[in-house]
Chains A and B, each alone.
Chain A
Amino acid sequence: MAKKVASSHSIPFWRDIRVLRVIAQVIFLALIAAGIWWLFNNLQYNLQTSGLKIGFRFLTNTAGFPISEGLHYSPTDVNGYAFFVGIVNTLKVSVIGIVIATILGVIIGISRLSSNWLVKKIAGFYVEVIRNIPLLVQLFFWYFAVMLTALPLVKNSIHLPGAIYLTRRGVYMPWAIPTDSFGTWAWYILGGLIVGAGVYMFRRTQLKRAERPGFPIIWAGTVFLLILAAGWFITPGNPLKLSVPVLNRFNFTGGLSLSTSFTALLLGLSVYTAAFIAEIVRAGIQAISKGQTEAASAVGLSKVQILRLVILPQALRVIIPPLASQYLNLTKNSSLAILIGYYDLMNVGTTIFNQTGRAVEMILLIMASYLTMSLLTSLAMNYYNKRMKLVER
């Protein structure tokens, strides 16, 4: 006992690893804090000399600049709302881009494994070409060369089947517009969703009890669609009306119009990201060994069952994490919108900065917006990975 005390006394504190660790961390943090304090001091001084003060009051001032995209907005609205419109525009182009890129990417990824030599080569060519040209070059190509130069003026627009018009002013296509009775029908949509989800849960537990776990999407979907159809006939008048673009003297009216910058950005982002998704899908499918397929067919599963119960669940586990990071990349890449004039959050943010001179606040806001998106995605991914791990072990 006495010896132990003596030995603990014999280690001087400057050699005690526990003490040293604490000291190292304190010094490190002190250095970081000093650096930040120095930067902050400079900032304060520089702002003082230019007569500015940090604060977010300016967000409630009138914006005064137009945004020709997205939510209903007028220049008399406040800066904060303008920024919100920008965020919604970023989300809009990202979500639609993700859907298109996923569809395109899955098709190309599967094509790269096709037994048809020509299809395989074309898919490989697509991936190698698209991945090795900078996204911004592609965006400029779509915007300046295709949308603004190659497409015709409004009066001799390219007419695609289904009343779709391509012009230098944008793309016009038919669209369903809600009428007065849409409000009534909306309740049926909500009801259909709730009942559909209920049916899904019920079938899933039923299948689980029968030891045949699956995803009864078809059951739930059918119920949902049936309720929608019933609502359509019960509601007086049509809840939705088809609106077709018509050429007036100067431009098209009616239907849905997509601006040139939106179309170019959407095309560029989806085409670019699809190449990366294709590689992920290919790698995911190749990761499943052939023995799995053979074993499953030896047990007597049908081809569809093999794909649904053996290949897909395993391939998805490999595919989904990198896929999510591609989705995040697409969202971050949508910030290039500013270079082709689409009003995303980066573009609106810099415009507000130009109007108000609030550099620090706007950069904080823009970064916080992107970080929130990243954080939400990685939280969702962590949850997914955790769940998948539990299933595995």
Chain B
Amino acid sequence: MDETRKRSHTYGDEELPPPIERIPVLRWLKENLFSSWLNAILTIVFTVFIVVLLFGLAKWALGARWEVIPANLKLLLVGTYPLEDMWRIWTTLYLISFLVGSAGGSRGGLMRQISMTIAIVSVVLAILPLALTTRGWILGMGASTGIGFLLGHFGKRLRRYKHIEIGLWVLSLPVTIMLVNGISGILPVVAGRNSWGLMLNVIGAVVGIALSFPIGILLALGRRSELPAIRLVCTAYIEIIRGVPLITLLFMASIMLQLLLPSNVRPDLLIRAMMTITAFEAAYMAENVRGGLQAIPKGQYEAANAVGLNKLLTTTLIIMPQALRLVIPAIVGQFISLFMDTTLFGFIAILELLHISRSVMGNVQWRGTIFELYVFIGVVFWLACYSMSYISRRIEKSLGVGER
């Protein structure tokens, strides 16, 4: 680079300014759409195709009975959850948005963007023509994110603030479940929890990932163990689970699990479904964690050994922290596919979003709104999964996983 510049200087060649683009749009079109005959034909064919498709879609969308969605929104999102207990769900959402806001305030970066998004989305949703109380609740979510943000922003100077935050995150899962489900003695238990709509998809995915995480780590370590018996058992478990479809395990949970347990232990259907999801995801989690473990160079083990750490300390202090950091994107990916897999709950009569929508379709009043409902469900899942995979890609970039 330097050399060419020097040479051009010595020879006295004047560098010409780049030619001025008269019509950059035309040039872009030529380069990207009409660079060859084949490309020109493809462009024209696909333009016509898209125009026809969009016109058809627009025509349908304008004539569709979208009122089916707001009229059944509560049923789709939280199912048969009693109206007088709805404050519990809102409180849970406030707690989580507060935690997200606090993390955004104290850490910045991606978390700040997420908390901003929550605040903006809640304001936008509050403008929609929903019931007035609902709009109030939604606005409150934006407010709790904001309060959390401010607290995080000023609290991060305090010693141990971030540690307290992590502790609160860990606590949030049991607290959430107690709030939403109720706990005998403190909060009345809510009945009919097998038909809670979208909430079941979310709970299933979160609980599944959270519980499968420790089991998956143990399985991954077991599969890499030097002891053949442990290695064999862990490998067999992982490969068997990964070799069968989830639906066979759900089938097993619905009909066979009670045969395997003592006659006085009869877990509720939803609990059995969660156990199944956990057992299933643990095998996949193990493979993800193993991928992270394999990426740790041998020198790390040797260095830890040289410092005098034993195997347990090497694993917990040196290897695991690095390996888990590497597999965060993979775990987010697993969470996305688990979230999508929770639609299978309907197979064992747990009415999550997809299956509770069938009760709306069966309603005479809403006959013929099947397309509207499936489009709504598709959009809900797409938005959730796409934004999560976006977050995962951002994390991947900030970790630099893909660039080595």
- Give residues in A with beta carbon < 8 Å to B: 21, 24-26, 28-29, 32, 39, 42-43, 45-47, 49, 114-119, 122, 128-129, 131-138, 140-141, 144-145, 149-150, 332-333, 335-336, 338-339, 346, 350, 353, 359-360, 363, 366-367, 370-371, 374-375
Contact = CB atoms under 8 A, between A and B. Distances in A.
Given A129-B382, A135-B340, A145-B370, A338 B354 contact: no
Given A119-B42, A360-B259, A137 B378 contact: yes
B266 to A, nearest CB: 11
B254 to A, nearest CB: 10
Interface stretch (B207-215, B243-251, B289-297): B243-251
Contacts, number: 150
B382 A25 contact: no
Contact of B256 (A21, A335, A359): A359
A135 B378 CA distance: 10
Contact of A136 (B239, B344, B368): B344
Given A46-B258, A133-B378, A333 B386 contact: no
Nearest to B252: A363
Contacts of B260: 39, 42-43, 46
Contacts of A134: 340-341, 343, 354, 381
How many residues of B sit at the interface, in one of the four size bands?
35 or more
B227 interface: yes
B113 interface: no
Contacts of A363: 248, 251-252, 255-256
Quick one: which of A43, A129, A359 has the most chain B CB within 10 A? Answer: A359
A115 to B, nearest CB: 6
A335 B230 contact: no
A118 B46 contact: yes
B43 A116 contact: yes
B39 interface: yes
Contacts of B344: 136, 336
A336 B246 CA distance: 10
Given A46-B259, A137-B374, A140-B374, A25 B230 contact: yes
Contacts of B263: 42, 45-46, 49
Contacts of B109: none
18 contacts: A45-B263, A116-B32, A119-B43, A132-B381, A133-B382, A134-B340, A138-B378, A144-B361, A332-B244, A332-B245, A333-B245, A335-B247, A336-B247, A363-B255, A363-B256, A367-B248, A371-B244, A375-B243
Nearest to A339: B347
Nearest to A52: B259
A145 B374 contact: yes
B381 A116 contact: no
B377 interface: yes
A132 B263 CA distance: 42
A145 to B, nearest CB: 5
A39 to B, nearest CB: 5
A28 B260 CA distance: 21
Interface string B29-66: 00011011001001100110010000000000000000
Nearest to A119: B42
Q: Majority SS of interface residues in chain B?
A: helix
A132 B377 contact: no
A336 B345 CA distance: 12
Interface in B250-290: 251-252, 255-256, 258-263
A116 B45 CA distance: 12
A42 B244 contact: no
B233 interface: yes
B82 interface: no
A47 B230 CA distance: 31
Quick one: which of A115, A131, A137 has the most chain B CB within 10 A? Answer: A137
Contacts of A29: 229, 233
A137 B248 contact: no
B228 interface: yes
Contact of A346 (B227, B247, B341, B374): B247
B243 A122 contact: no
B245 A140 contact: no
B324 interface: no
B229 A132 contact: no
Contacts of B377: 137
B240 interface: yes
A65 to B, nearest CB: 18
Contact of B244 (A149, A339, A370): A370
B245 A133 contact: no
B161 interface: no
A158 B395 CA distance: 49
B374 A370 contact: no
B385 interface: yes
A134 B204 CA distance: 15
Contacts of B230: 24-25, 28
B347 A338 contact: yes
B354 A136 contact: yes
Nearest to A46: B259
A128 B385 CA distance: 10
